[in-house]
């Protein structure tokens, strides 16, 4: 009987924690909705769900200029992340409730904002069922013409070549297409993990990986054009 009572007490504690986490998450979403209703902040329809779920607003997701003081007063902190599809930085506001020291959702700001931008680009170019997974599986998935595409953003120094190879192969067993977006400083390591041909190790785009910037945009355009990246010559990706 004592054991059963202890188990019940433990379960009650777990349910209370889960309910608290649910209320907190709901509060953040309600906060975003209240912000939209009470202020002239208008987020483009295609990005509204992404914005609410990730408690973040990118400048490019807005339909009109924003009063930054309103966001600051509502608990949103401003960041200047690098763009994923072109040079330079952009503005992004993230709610303070998911900030912890120097991390966002336990991710570095660079990783967090890169992943959100990848998801936004998939939505922009017509992918459906776009999902973000910060803590398991691949970073972003989306459906296009009944095929599931998976994207990973790989920061320098986070995985060895062998770890990347294992991660990439695991993803290929689950999804129709898998791509890794990386930086110029770690493109060689990523290429060694995902490409069998050593001749392509010094390029910025291959069959399965590309550097952030214009090459990422090129990848997405290739997919939606129906011209298979997997089957095109390497030199056509340069």
Can you give the length of the chain in residues?
A: 238
In this prediction, residue 193 carries a pLDDT of 87
- 3-state class (DSSP) for residue 181: strand
Radius of gyration of the chain (CA): 20
pLDDT at res. 48: 94
Which H or E run includes 34?
A: helix 2-38
Span 11-69, pLDDT tens digits: 656 656 555 544 444 455 556 666 655 555 789 999 999 999 999 999 999 998 888 88
- CB neighbours of residue 119 within 10 Å: 24
pLDDT per position as a tens digit, 131-186 = 998 877 899 999 999 999 999 999 988 889 899 999 999 999 999 999 999 998 99
| 66-99: pLDDT as tens digits | 888 888 988 999 999 999 999 999 999 999 999 9
Averaged pLDDT for residues 199-218 = 73
Mean pLDDT to the nearest integer, 190-208: 68
Q: Does residue 56 contact residue 93 with C-beta atoms inside 8 Å?
A: yes
pTM recorded for the entire structure: 0.78
User: How many whole angstroms separate alpha carbon 92 and alpha carbon 78?
Assistant: 6
233 — pLDDT class (breaks 50, 70, 90): very low
Task: Output the pLDDT for position 210.
Answer: 86
Report pLDDT for 6.
61
Tell me the three state secondary structure of residue 183.
coil
Round the average pLDDT of the chain to a whole number and report it.
81
As given in the structure block, the two tokens for residue 3 are: 């054991």
Rounded CA separation 77/21 (Å): 21
Q: Where are the beta strands (DSSP E) in 101-211?
A: 103-104, 128-132, 140-144, 147-154, 177-182, 209-211
Q: What is the pLDDT of residue 236?
A: 41
pLDDT of residue 143: 95
pLDDT score at 205: 53
> Per mean pLDDT, which of 1-10, 114-123, 133-142 is the most reliable?
114-123
**pLDDT at site 157:** 86
**Amino acid 113: pLDDT:** 98
pLDDT at 212 exceeding the cut of 80: yes
pLDDT attached to residue 218 = 82
State the pLDDT at residue 201: 52
């Amino acid at each position: 009987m004592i054991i059963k009572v202890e188990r019940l007490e433990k379960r009650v504690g777990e349910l209370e924690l889960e309910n608290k986490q649910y209320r907190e998450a709901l509060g953040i979403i309600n906060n975003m909705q209240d912000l939209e209703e009470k202020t002239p902040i208008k987020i483009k329809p295609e990005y509204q769900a992404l914005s609410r779920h990730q408690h973040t607003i990118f400048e490019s997701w807005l339909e009109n200029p924003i009063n930054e003081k309103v966001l600051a007063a509502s608990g949103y902190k401003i960041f200047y992340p690098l763009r994923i599809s072109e040079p330079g930085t952009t503005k992004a506001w993230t709610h303070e409730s998911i900030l912890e020291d120097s991390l966002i959702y336990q991710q570095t700001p660079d990783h967090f904002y890169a992943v959100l931008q990848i998801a936004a680009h998939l939505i922009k170019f017509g992918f459906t069922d776009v999902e973000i997974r910060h803590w398991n599986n691949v970073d972003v998935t989306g459906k296009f013409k009944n095929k599931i595409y998976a994207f990973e953003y790989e920061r320098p120094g986070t995985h060895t070549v062998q770890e990347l190879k294992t991660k990439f192969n695991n993803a290929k067993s689950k999804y129709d297409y898998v791509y890794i977006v990386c930086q110029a400083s770690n493109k060689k390591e990523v290429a060694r993990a995902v490409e069998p041909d050593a001749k392509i190790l010094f390029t910025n785009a291959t069959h399965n990986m590309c550097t952030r910037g214009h090459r990422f945009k090129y990848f997405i355009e290739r997919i939606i054009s129906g011209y298979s990246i997997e089957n095109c010559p390497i030199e056509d990706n340069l």
